Amino acid sequence: MSELESAAGEGSEPTALVGVTGCIAAYKTCELVRLLQKAGVRVKVVMTPMGAEFVTPATFRALTRTEVALAPIDDATAPIHHISLAQEADVFIIAPATANTINKLANGVADNLLTTTALATEAPMLIAPAMNVHMWRDETTQASLARLRSRGVIILEPEAGYLACGELGEGRLAAVEEIARWAQAELERARDLGGRRVLITAGPTREYIDPVRFLSNPSSGATGYAIAEEAARRGAEVVLVSGPTTLSDPFGCTVVRVTSAREMFEAAERAFDEKPCDAAVFTAAVADYQPAEQQQHKLKKGEQGSELSLRLVATTDILKTLAARKGSTVVVGFAAETRDVIAAAERKLREKNADLIVANDVSSPELGFASAHNHWHFVSAAGVESTDVLPKRTLARLLLDAVASRLAQGNQGGEAK
């Protein structure tokens, strides 16, 4: 029996419903089906009429050894076909997903068996888009994706490269191995953080000099938001204390919006003290210094002369202050470094009394702050584990695997001294 079968209950294979829409990448879905089957997953395929133009249902019928679902009334044994499919699915993967289907799903349009089933299912949904780069970047497509994300749908972003249409840019279906990994993980872990409370800090802070000028940094908040969304989906009660970002509230989280390091500290401390936290993940890029005084009125160039000195005072280290009284809370910090990455993380692990420091090198322009991908080193008392270069969302998932495993073992990280 595979691990997935044991997770689903003895003798019962978990079922992945795979949706195929009308896109040239549909041929890659055959490989996805095989990968899932190899992992012990039972696969059923549902196709849109256009999807069936790209790869014939006969191919999927042969691969899955079962009928392919095509039309709402095509199965005499399942009189309400979209409902039986919706209930059967332990995970619903739509790969490839066209812009058309994505826009329909975002708006609740149910005009074929795939979209009707998507509306009816309660299973976790993974969408792997594939399309032309301009269709991908289109405002409507992006708004629909944001809408779906806010409902807890996992979007496996397309890769950049040469597209079937001959253009260069984002739009290639995510690697099928990556899609299969997400689907398997979804089936395995479902709700492993159920009943846990997790505090997360995210984003930059702004330290105002005067009413219109501030000191800040380019953190987008994306990492913290991805961790928050993932933790909520895995059943945790999540409090996300966020500095100013352009991101919308992640699905299922309590979000406290703050501006300055001081406000972030106060909000985080409140959340940490009001109810015990099982884990606290400090991803925020908090300003280490704030202006000693904040001017009430806008500074005027003419009044300052040719030089202006700014006196700064240290802010409170939120992680260090809260970790000093952490008890059994799993405390995770981040270290964004430009040199001696591991050594700096090991120092922060000790000095801040954290259980885990996630270190990353932000000197590379392709990775770090503004990038959708990153390469992390998990530094703990047990040693260093490094990841491949992976999408931030996948990294968030790996981090929560580490947190969940520590929680399952009763966090042996130790009490604060």
**69 contacts ligand CTP (rule: CB under 6 A):** no
Q: Which stretch binds ligand CTP (CB under 6 A): 6-14, 170-178, 226-234, 311-319?
A: 311-319
Is residue 333 involved in binding ligand CTP (CB under 6 A)? yes
261 binds ligand CTP (CB under 6 A): yes
Q: Where are the beta strands (DSSP E) in 211-311?
A: 213-215, 237-242, 253-257, 279-282, 289-291
DSSP string, 273-293: HHS--SEEEE--B--SEEESS
If one asks whether residue 315 binds ligand CTP (CB under 6 A), the answer comes out as yes
Closer residue to ligand CTP, CB minimum distance, 69 or 318? 318
Amino acid (1-letter code) at residue 89? A
Residue 59 CB, nearest distance to ligand CTP (Å)? 49
Residues assigned a catalytic role: 165
3 state DSSP class of 380:
strand
Sign of the C-alpha dihedral, residues 383, 202, 146, 373?
negative
In which residue are the tokens 């009189």 written?
79
- Tell me how crowded residue 19 is: count the other CB atoms within 10 A of its CB: 31
Residue with tokens 């009429």: 49
336 binds ligand CTP per the rule CB under 6 A: yes
Per CB under 6 A, the segment of 28-36, 145-153, 315-323, 378-386 that binds ligand CTP is 315-323
Size of the chain in residues: 417
Shortest CB 333 distance to ligand CTP, Å:
4
Q: Which is nearer to ligand CTP, 184 or 315 (CB)?
A: 315
Q: Does 220 bind ligand CTP (CB under 6 A)?
A: no
Q: Shortest gap between Cβ of 315 and ligand CTP (angstroms)? A: 5
Q: Which of 92, 136, 282, 378 binds ligand CTP (CB under 6 A)?
A: 282
Cα 13 to Cα 65: distance, rounded to the nearest angstrom: 15
The span of 71-79, 131-139, 189-197, 284-292 binding ligand CTP (CB under 6 A) equals: 284-292
Q: If we measure between CA atoms, which residue out of 287, 306, 303 comes closest to residue 295?
A: 303
- Tell me if 54 contacts ligand CTP by CB under 6 A: no
Read off the tokens for 87. Answer: 């209930």
Backbone φ and ψ of 149, nearest 5°: -60, -40
Of the candidate spans 14-22, 86-94, 104-112, 334-342, the one that interacts with ligand CTP by CB under 6 A turns out to be 334-342
Query: What whole-number distance in Å separates Cα of residue 180 and Cα of residue 14?
Result: 13
Could you tell me which stretch among 6-14, 20-28, 50-58, 327-335 binds ligand CTP (CB under 6 A)? 327-335
Cβ pair 333, 319 in contact under 8 A? yes
318: contact with ligand CTP by CB under 6 A: yes
Q: Closer to ligand CTP at the Cβ: 279 or 286?
A: 286
Find the shortest distance in angstroms from Cβ 377 to ligand CTP: 13
| Min dist. Cβ of residue 381 to ligand CTP (A) | 17
Site string for ligand CTP, 339-358 (x = CB under 6 A): ---------x----------
Q: Which is nearer to ligand CTP, 214 or 334 (CB)?
A: 334
CA dist 322 and 343 (Å) reads: 23
Q: Is the peptide bond before 96 cis (omega within 30 degrees of 0)?
A: yes
What is the bridge-based pairing of β-strands 312-314 and 289-291? antiparallel
317 binds ligand CTP (CB under 6 A): yes
What secondary structure, in 3-state letters, does 343-392 show?
HHHHHHHHHCCCCEEEEEECCCCCCCCCCCEECCEEEECCEEEECCCEEH
Q: Which one among 173, 209, 253, 335 touches ligand CTP, defined by CB under 6 A?
A: 335
Please say whether the beta carbons of 255 and 249 come within 8 A. Answer: yes
Min separation Cβ 161 and ligand CTP, Å: 33
Please report which helix (H) or strand (E) contains residue 219, including its range: none
Residues engaged in binding ligand CTP (CB under 6 A): 201, 261, 282, 284, 286, 288, 315, 317-319, 333-336, 348
